[in-house]
Amino acid sequence: MDKRLKYYDLMEQLHGKIMSGEIRPGEKLPSENELSAEYGVSRQTVRKALQILQNEGYIYAEHGRGTFCSEMLRHTMPSKNIAVVTTYLSDYIFPRIVQGIDQVLTENGYSILLKNTRNSRSLEAKCLEELLQKDIDGLIIEPSKSQIFCRHVNLYEMLDSYHIPYVFIQGVHAQLLDRPQILLDDCRGAYLATRYLIELGHRRIVGVFKSDDTQGQQRHKGYVQALQEAGIAYDPDKVIWFYTEDRKTHPFERIRQMARDRGNHPFEAVVAYNDQVAIEVIRALNEEGLSVPQDVSVTGYDNSYLAQTCRVPLTTISHPQEELGAAAAELLLRIIREGNSNIEGKCVLMEPELVIRESCRRRDDTDMTQDDKNNL
């Protein structure tokens, strides 16, 4: 047998072991010396056989460690498993989002593998690393701190190289804006809430927004647009920015400070980043002796159970949680069926709606200064 046939024959034998599962994804292959002795061929023959397998993506070499069976082989056969990664799982709006995903996937014979990142970029990277080792057909992911530069884009590129499709939900990393995504029009939502307050006669409107995700940035943008449209000057001193880590304390403390100084720097309304923050805003106002909506109108965002059950039912922005999850699942299944992440309609922007309840009231003439009346 000539040398060409020897290395080709060895390549075919190793390929057969890989495809049969005898050599498993992630498993280290024998060394060149061991393969040479086992198959009775030269190291040069072994090296040529391994080079072909490496070029075709079946194996990879790590300097100083050896040669390994590619993880890509985990994903060559359908598993009927879909991974779902969200920032949180068990509270607020997330159970209903997952419910929407689960309903569509279950109807189509898929099972869900659930993970959460607690809105941590390092935990998101860890989740992706773990999922690359598992048998999954696709991924739906809510990115963590999506406004901050993503340092693990390479992991998404690995998903691409393994032909594992993924869909972003509720946000997308700036470096991956061309990837499939299902989003709520957060700019429009905050615009609707702010415009409603302006229509009620409010002009000094505080905004509370989250700075480390795209939702917060887009909601701030909508707030600014509504002010500008009404001819109200943007005042950065009336905007409170907070981060994931201080979300439970910073908005509350800043609203308390602003309430104490309301005589010098008055405000009549607050546009909150979401319903959770709105509840904290109301609590802070109450602790400073202010009532909602008698003294200050407050709006939330998400139309969560908190908005419906709090002591003062909250005017808020609808968040079609189950529909958003279902749309993400349907888009992912389309990509899986068609084998192409560049399909039409891969970027969906869902329309929000204003839900009016009791946390806002119209200002009457007795509430207004002469400057207020002149500006209306």
Q: What is the mean pLDDT of residues 306-318?
A: 96
List of domains in the chain: 3-74 (1.10.10.10), 78-179+321-350 (3.40.50.2300), 186-318+355-375 (3.40.50.2300)
Confidence band (pLDDT; 50, 70, 90) for 342?
confident
Q: What is the mean pLDDT of residues 250-268?
A: 97
Confidence band (pLDDT; 50, 70, 90) for 74?
low
Query: Residue 80: CB partners within 8 Å, gap ≥ 6?
Result: 109, 110, 111, 137
Tell me what pLDDT residue 73 has.
66
Tell me what pLDDT residue 337 has.
92
Confidence band (pLDDT; 50, 70, 90) for 56?
confident
Q: What is the mean pLDDT of residues 289-303?
A: 98
Percent of the chain with pLDDT over 70: 94
- Among 58-67, 74-83, 182-191, 203-212, which stretch is predicted with the lowest mean pLDDT? 74-83
Q: What is the mean pLDDT of residues 49-56?
A: 91
Please give the residue that has the higher pLDDT: either 101 or 57: 101
Query: Residue 117: CB partners within 8 Å, gap ≥ 6?
Result: 85, 86, 87, 123, 124, 127, 144
> Among candidates 10, 13, 15, which has minimal Cα distance to 56?
15
Tell me what pLDDT residue 366 has.
52
Q: What is the mean pLDDT of residues 274-288?
A: 97
In this model, does residue 99 exceed pLDDT 60?
Answer: yes
Q: What is the mean pLDDT of residues 257-280?
A: 97
- The predicted-structure confidence for 185-204, as pLDDT tens digits, reads as follows 999 999 999 999 999 999 99
Is 0.85 surpassed by the pTM of this model?
no
Between helices 32-39 and 43-55, what is the axis angle to 10°?
110
Q: What is the mean pLDDT of the chain?
A: 92
In this model, does residue 50 exceed pLDDT 70?
Answer: yes
In this model, does residue 3 exceed pLDDT 50?
Answer: no
Tell me what pLDDT residue 315 has.
98
Percent of the chain with pLDDT over 90: 80
- Quote the CA–CA distance of 37 and 14 in Å, as a whole number: 15
Peptide bond into 95 cis (omega under 30): no
Confidence band (pLDDT; 50, 70, 90) for 347?
very high
Contact 25, 69 (CB under 8 A): yes
Contact 190, 228 (CB under 8 A): no
